[in-house]
Structure 1
Amino acid sequence: MRIRIYDDGAGQGAPSSDGGTDDVRDCLFVLGWGNRCRHENVGWLVDRLAERYRVHVAELPTHITDVEREWVAPLESYVADLDRADVLSHSAGGLAVAHLDAPALNNRVYLSPWWGSDFPVPDAVFRSLTSLPIARPLLPFSDLEAEALGSLATDRQLADSPTAASPAFLGTVDRTQRRLPPAREEAVAFCTLTDAIVDPRAVGRRLPADRVRLYDGGHELFSSPARTTLTETVLDTLERGPAPLRDAGSASAP
């Protein structure tokens, strides 16, 4: 797992009332499966985060056989050295973060978390297939179109998206999804009901409606036009927890 730190902006500290600087808040941003810091739309969101935080961006290894050992454990080891951090995660990053148990972690914001899958095969067939101890990525995905990620997705993003998965990978994801702990009270999620990559129904099964914000677009909020109106809300929920979503709901109520 590779983690990059971005602290050119908020990393300098904000002015305090006594003429010094306030302590900088840390944000751990765990990317999704196949996302990379070099992707333009990932960079766009990191730049927004860096206006308020020192940002620690984690790139997940792609072809793994054990989510707990290869995603969750390295993240827990890393955050053990942080005093306090808010957490933003996307897709597969949201699956890993949901299993993180670390005192340093504060507010948790999930973007299209991979808490459930909707594979077009019967469950018995899927379970049999994913029980095979095969680590080679030989199960092809259908070709992703830009709209599935978001209409702003670039050719580089599409080219870097995984095109196949191994039975062992799908098996460990499935087992990790079925062992999800209860969602924490400070957790909120942003997702689209038309997500073609993960099952958005899994979000509704874990979080109440007042901690979910829906948007129109693709799987990646940061690759969808909705990012221009929702990013400020994402940042506010990172800093304050569910309150901004509840305040917005109260303001729109008749």
Structure 2
Amino acid sequence: MKKVLIMPCLDIKEGRVVKGVQFVNLRDAGDPVECARIYCENGADELALLDITATVEKRKTTLDVVRRVAEVTTIPFTVGGGIASLADAEAVLAAGANRVSISSAAYRQPELIEQAAVKFGSEKVVVAIDADRNPALPSGYEVYINGGNTATGIDAVEWAKQAEARGAGIILPTSKACDGAKSGYDIPLIKGIKEAVKVPVIASGGAGKLEHFLDAATEGQADILLAASVFHFGEILIQDLKQYLQDNGVATV
């Protein structure tokens, strides 16, 4: 039986952890360094840090925050937001990240995926896909870029396959409709991508209760379960989640 990993996500804006609903209506959730330290102590398996306004504001990831978080982080640490070139990716990795996550830049410059995979190794390259429902497309899901603000007309599952073919080591789909709504992960999106690729898939967007994580691991076949607000605001404790998953036949680390 495969083991699923638990991955809290720190969405960063102006140096603080924030969380919203459907990518808007953000509220403060704490200091990123303190959050990272607590998650490491409390049993998280992975950590994500996403500078959520970097791309829209046309700036680079805030490397100072990455460095400070890296100093207290004892688990694999993925950083995304504002990474638009090999040099950007190299700077983020040098600041202490274990992986880089690219989204809008990967869509605009698909060759960046290949270049990063060759230079750093596929295992360090995550391609994040923000998607929303569009019944006109084969999978029913459309890729969005620029922080989930701009529709592309491209099918999300097809794009995931292309990203894998170019060297992505992990695919991170986030459902715009489900993000922050706590109504459950978008299982058809996660499952559709998981069945189309061989690399690990991270479930993201919509966790609100323990059952949602179980659904993502079983029905969605996700390898890593990412969540933010339920962890940030103490609604679900990581150790309780792991016990629940184990009690329901899903192995954890």
**Fold equivalence (TM over 0.5):** no
Q: TM-score band (shorter)?
A: 0.3 to 0.5
Q: Which has the larger radius of gyration?
A: 1
